[in-house]
Structure 1
Amino acid sequence: MRIPNPDLAVDDSNKQRWNRPAHRRHGFRNAHHLFRRTLMVRSRNVLPLVPSPIDLPAALPELRALLAHPAFSAFCCLRGDALIFESAAEDFSPTAPHSIQSVTKLHIHLIFGRLLAQGLVSLDAPVSEYLPEIGSGYADAPLGALLDMAVRNDFSEDYSDPLSDCYTEEIALGWRLPPEGAPEPSLAQFAAGITGFRPGPPPRLAEYKSANTDVLTLIAAAVSPVPLARMVEEIADAAGYEGAFHISLSPEHLPAFSGGGCLSARDLARFGLLFAGISDDVAYPNTGFLRYCLERAAPSLEPPRDWLRYSGHLMTNGRLLGHAGYGGQFLLVDTETGTSCALLSVLENDAGYDVNYMSQVAVCAKHICEILA
């Protein structure tokens, strides 16, 4: 006799065990072991870090508050290859892997920067040009709108609603099982089932939908001459991780760029350095797209984070850039000084999300970048 995998099967709350509040701390710190299937990559060469300590908590009471918060897992601040400050909860480490959730979306910025430079995609083209079988939720949406979180359709991402579409999406990301006896939908099948595209001018506020990232993943897989797994390897090599990068895979073995990545705080800060400096170094091949995303107008995030806008699959104010992640993850990079701040945490409320906490994290990282500037 066999039973559904207890880590991946859902209960009456429509959550799998590793993402229920009582198990979430363990789940986020062991997600690379708990996902249905994963890709693991080690960097060919490691970026060494030079200890250059600065007592940031002494200068920033808001950072002291975050380090003492019950959700805190780990924090790392780099300035180039200088290790400025790092800290971890008593039961964790800045070098241990941790779910980074939607911070993973920054890979899509890097990948589409390359595809645009190669002339393989156009920001103005409708999704159906690349995915003829896509459903009505995305067929007529321009690719650029997906990159800017500016698509209006029926997909819902409300973490406080256990029946929100974003939880059904998790089956196609390899995070949970479907109802017993039901097949696992592929990422393509899931995306094709989304309906209700509503055309119109770009919204003033970003309409955050992780399904946008899923569709962009499918487009990248369709047009790229290089397999997505190889692109993940190339990004890992450019970042120079000392540990491993893990990412969950869909049933058709596509990387779950919408939120399946796992990195240590130290390696997440290394990843952030790929976006710093805006140089033409070979490790960062999409300088033009990054500069375009920083300088242009784009939908703002909702208050209190409306000092950031969502442009080209990253959050930015024109100089600082980064991304937030479900459960309390955040990466913020100062593109002018090469400062990269990575925070990992685990919110243990029912929703696993708290907009006020995320705003607190973002403002704290902003202040760190300002001090180090």
Structure 2
Amino acid sequence: MSEQDVHVNPDLRVGEDNKQRWNQPARRRHGFHNAHKLMRRMHMVRSRHVMELIDDPQDLVNCVEGLNDLISHPAFSALICVQGNRVVFERCASDFSVLQPHSIQSVTKLHIHLIVGRLVAQGLLDLEQPVSHYLPEIGAGYADAPVQRLLDMAIDNDFSEDYSDPLSDCYAEEIALGWRLPEDGVAEISLSEFASRISGYRPETAMETIQYKSANTDVLTLICHKVCPHDLKVEIEAIADAAGYEGAFHISLSPDQMPAFSGGGCLSARDLARFGLLFARKGLDVHGKPFANQAFLNATLGRAALPMSPPKDWLKYSNHTMTNGQLLGHAGYGGQFLLVDCENEISCAFQSVLENEAGYDDDYMADVVLALSKLCEAISR
């Protein structure tokens, strides 16, 4: 076989716009709907028991402002809202299904909240320690930063996450997440190597809003790997069992086999709602037994933390969640949001695929979370 018979994987090869094929605007919808099959390497897990959902639809489209616009938007993939175990609202696009895996991107970060909380409860992790206490080899971008500041997105360093800039650091990060390939002849970089190359920690910066950096999650992943008494894949399996997924949870892996908690997860809309219910139940698993660190979760809702940047500044970023004290959730690149009403045990899972150049629109995401919050209000009445 000659070299002419071999070519670089077209889905993972980077094009002129510095995006791999599955994330280029014309291919992004297919990419997000099939991400569980397109990444360089994926870990898959099924739940031991399945949480049954009961269809109990409510007529909500015309009584929730912005809801019809949300589900008729060209980017829309799926939306499901569950209260307790009752499906009160469910819609999907004509080219999609609420049972089909979908890239949830940074909604995956909520796994770090759960894992960190469990490690804190076991006395294995002290959030006031600097990162170098757990990762002596880490670079200057994180060595002196307290772990708590990573959890709260309160870090100022040289890592950039600007989706409109094709040369932003977050795109180079994707090599370490298993989402794209480096240039020919260049080795894939491990998550540890990538995180250690970040420099420029500035502790004196007075921050009025968060600085969103997915690299913070990568470093937290490495810390959890270091202190956890077992492989992090065991934690992924435990979370899946606690949530009671019907389908499979997929997550991409770095070259050094680290789960891409910063954004590599894929879940169906129904299973994403089940994941949200784990928070709505204040950490109780599908059998009603304690799983998550409830004290950590309660503190997350009530503690002081920096607000998000406008127009989502009515939410703060606390312990790797977005919350206003009652609502809790997380956004994801491309148009994802999981919103949980912790007082009324409601979980709303929204999935969509923005096909603009950047793959993100802050105003669109603000409209999404506002409509979901109004949907929670309507359901709880």
Greater mean alpha carbon deviation, residues 58-67 or residues 134-143: 58-67
Deviation at 1:284, TM superposition (A): 3.0
Q: Per the alignment, in what secondary structure is the counterpart of residue 163 of structure 1?
A: coil
The corresponding residue for 1:308 is 315
Q: Which runs of 5+ in 2 are unaligned?
A: none
Structure 1 segment 129-144 matched on structure 2, within 5 A: 129-144=133-148
Render the CA deviation track for 1:140-188: whole Å, top value 9, x for unaligned: 0000000000011000000000000000000000000011110001000
Q: Which runs of 5+ in 1 are unaligned?
A: none
Deviation at 1:345, TM superposition (A): 0.2
The corresponding residue for 1:232 is 236
For residues 240 and 85 of structure 1, the distance between their equivalents in structure 2, rounded to whole angstroms, comes to 20
Find 1:149's aligned residue among 130, 150, 153.
153
Q: Per the alignment, in what secondary structure is the counterpart of residue 77 of structure 1?
A: strand
Find 2:209's aligned residue among 205, 215, 219.
205
Render the CA deviation track for 1:291-349: whole Å, top value 9, x for unaligned: 11110110100111011000000000001000000000000000011100000000000
Structure 1 segment 1-373 matched on structure 2, within 5 A: 1=3, 2-200=6-204, 203-278=207-282, 281-373=288-380
For residues 361 and 223 of structure 2, the distance between their equivalents in structure 1, rounded to whole angstroms, comes to 32
Identity fraction in percent: 63
CA contact (8 A) 1:126 1:143 kept: yes
CA contact (8 A) 1:35 1:175 kept: yes
Letter matched to residue 348 of structure 1:
E
For residues 351 and 282 of structure 1, the distance between their equivalents in structure 2, rounded to whole angstroms, comes to 42
Deviation at 1:121, TM superposition (A): 1.0
Letter matched to residue 187 of structure 2:
P
Render the CA deviation track for 1:15-41: whole Å, top value 9, x for unaligned: 000000000000000000000000000
Q: Per the alignment, in what secondary structure is the counterpart of residue 206 of structure 1?
A: coil
CA contact (8 A) 2:65 2:371 kept: no
CA contact (8 A) 2:254 2:260 kept: yes
Deviation at 1:372, TM superposition (A): 1.7
For residues 286 and 81 of structure 1, the distance between their equivalents in structure 2, rounded to whole angstroms, comes to 22
CA contact (8 A) 2:243 2:277 kept: yes
Render the CA deviation track for 1:223-245: whole Å, top value 9, x for unaligned: 00021001000000011011100
Deviation at 1:203, TM superposition (A): 2.0
CA contact (8 A) 2:283 2:293 kept: no
Letter matched to residue 113 of structure 2:
H
For residues 277 and 6 of structure 1, the distance between their equivalents in structure 2, rounded to whole angstroms, comes to 43
TM-score by length of 2: 0.96
Q: Per the alignment, in what secondary structure is the counterpart of residue 155 of structure 1?
A: coil
For residues 99 and 167 of structure 1, the distance between their equivalents in structure 2, rounded to whole angstroms, comes to 16
CA contact (8 A) 2:64 2:378 kept: no
The alignment covers a number of residue pairs equal to: 373
Deviation at 1:279, TM superposition (A): 6.0
Render the CA deviation track for 1:226-284: whole Å, top value 9, x for unaligned: 21001000000011011100000000111100000000111000000010142664353
TM-score by length of 1: 0.98
CA contact (8 A) 1:244 1:263 kept: yes
For residues 283 and 40 of structure 1, the distance between their equivalents in structure 2, rounded to whole angstroms, comes to 24
Deviation at 1:59, TM superposition (A): 1.3
For residues 43 and 186 of structure 2, the distance between their equivalents in structure 1, rounded to whole angstroms, comes to 25
Letter matched to residue 153 of structure 1:
N
Deviation at 1:200, TM superposition (A): 2.5
For residues 282 and 168 of structure 1, the distance between their equivalents in structure 2, rounded to whole angstroms, comes to 41
For residues 130 and 22 of structure 1, the distance between their equivalents in structure 2, rounded to whole angstroms, comes to 42
For residues 283 and 324 of structure 1, the distance between their equivalents in structure 2, rounded to whole angstroms, comes to 26
Deviation at 1:131, TM superposition (A): 0.3
Deviation at 1:202, TM superposition (A): 6.2
